Amino acid sequence: MTAQEMIPDIAIAGRAIGPDHPPYIIAEMSANHNGSLERALAIVDAALEAGCDAIKLQTYRGDTITLKATGPDFDITQGPWAGRTLYQLYEDAHLPWEWHQAIFDHAKARGITVFSAPFDLTAVDFLEQLNCPAYKIASYEIVDHGLIAACARTGKPLIISTGLANREEIQEAVAVARANGCANPIVLHCVSGYPTPYEEANLHRIGYLKDHLPGCLIGLSDHTPGAAIPAGAVALGACVVEKHITLDRTGGGEDDFFSLEPSEMAQVCQQTRAVWAGTRPLRLARAKSEQVTAAGRRSLYVVAPIKAGEVFTRENIRSIRPGHGLPPKYLEAILGKRAHQDLDFAQALRAEMIEGFTLEE
């Protein structure tokens, strides 16, 4: 039994998560509501229809995540959000807190789990009032030990994303979670590039995290295009996959440009679950589907009539299809021996038909 298999299943809203269960697929709404509650509710519906297990929100305001300030520390000069201040970006992107209840109610009515990533302690208190079933620590917040501790103390499942974090920061975050009551946080490998090029996905880090974080389930928070990287992550043992979802990648919102549209999210759900099904459990015996095709293998057959006592040669026995005779590996051992009985053309050769021949044990 591997270290991952020894971790107890973790359940979010009754859905078990772990190696023995299909990957838990989270659709990240992020800023893709684009300032519209109607659009936010439509994203919940799209995530459900795509096959996702959960929709995840982000709970902050401009004044809870940064300062209303300008200057070198607060002006964004590079990347996709250049030209604004941090405060302007987060004010434009944030999900109004007064919308949360409506989104939670809609998700419950539709039958999909909704939870959130809080970005400060007031957000944790607010989400607790909504009975949020789990919490996510966003990659940029992994160094905020107070926030991690507050989420862990709720007793709810905790997911920690590791984009930008080094080994020490990841270990410290997990230690803080455990010290505050979350014994088995879920840790997501993440590259915080928007979007992330395939060649920077660094999927081997999943194995590293599995080896170095005993007691933690490992997953992926992904910003690459499409479903290929999530499928690869599941093949390497990821139990959770998170991807951003939007109704329209050309919608002009803060995160639309690197998010997946509903049909693409459906491919993530389908392909990751197909890969999971194809990798568990380990089987060394033939699969059930192979039973009807096994006869298609080669085996030894009589290709010319043989009389009792006649010598077997390459002219009267050969390796052909189907596979009802002796395996071809015995051909050299049989050549030169004599037939125990008369044999007909197209007869499958068996051990009892050969004088002085026994099968290997």
- pLDDT digit string (tens) for 121-159? 999 999 999 999 999 999 999 999 999 999 999 999 999
- Taking 50 as the threshold, does the pLDDT of residue 205 lie above it? yes
Q: Is residue 361 part of a domain?
A: no
217-241 pLDDT per residue, tens: 999 999 999 999 999 999 999 999 9
Give the pLDDT confidence of 6-44 residue by residue, as tens digits: 677 799 999 999 999 999 999 999 999 999 999 999 999
Q: Are residues 308 and 245 in the same domain?
A: no
**Per-residue confidence (pLDDT) for residue 1, from 0 to 100:** 47
Q: How confident is the model at residue 286 (pLDDT cuts 50, 70, 90)?
A: confident
Residue 48 Cα distances to 106, 169, 248, 250, angstroms: 11, 34, 16, 21
Domain containing 311 equals 289-353
What is the pTM for the complete model shown?
0.87
In a domain, 7, yes or no: no
If asked whether residues 275 and 322 sit together in one domain, one would say: no
pLDDT at 280 over 90: no
Give domain status of residue 188, yes or no.
Answer: yes
Domain end call among 227, 261, 279? 279
Residues 104 and 220 in one domain: yes
Question: Is residue 163's pLDDT more than 90?
Answer: yes
Helix (H) or strand (E) holding 275: helix 262-279
| Residues 148 and 175 grouped into a single domain | yes
* pLDDT single digits (tens) 63-92: 999 999 999 999 999 988 899 999 999 999
Residues 6+ apart with CB under 8 A from 262: 46, 47, 49, 50, 245, 247
Q: Which of 279, 299, 322 is the last residue of a domain?
A: 279
DSSP letters of 32-57?
TTTT-HHHHHHHHHHHHHHT-SEEEE
Q: Which of 143, 159, 152 is nearest to 124 (CA)?
A: 152
- Nearest of 306, 312, 313 to residue 341 by alpha carbon: 306
Q: Is residue 358 part of a domain?
A: no
Answer whether residue 6 is part of any domain. Answer: no
Residue 360 lies in a domain: no
Answer yes or no: do 229 and 339 share one domain: no
Does 324 fall in a domain?
yes
In a domain, 93, yes or no: yes
With a cut of 70, say whether residue 311 has pLDDT above it.
yes
- 192 with 45, same domain? yes
According to DSSP, the residues that pair with 338 across neighbouring strands are: 311
CATH number of the domain enclosing 333:
3.90.1210.10
Residues 242 and 294 placed together within one structural domain of the fold: no
| Helix (H/G/I), strand (E/B), else coil: 289 | helix
Number of folded domains that form the chain: 2
Domain boundary among 258, 279, 300: 279
- For residue 151, give the CATH number of its domain: 3.20.20.70
Considering the domain architecture, whether residues 192 and 309 belong to the same structural domain is answered as: no
pLDDT number for residue 121: 98
When pLDDT is averaged across residues 305-313 and rounded to a whole number, the result is: 97
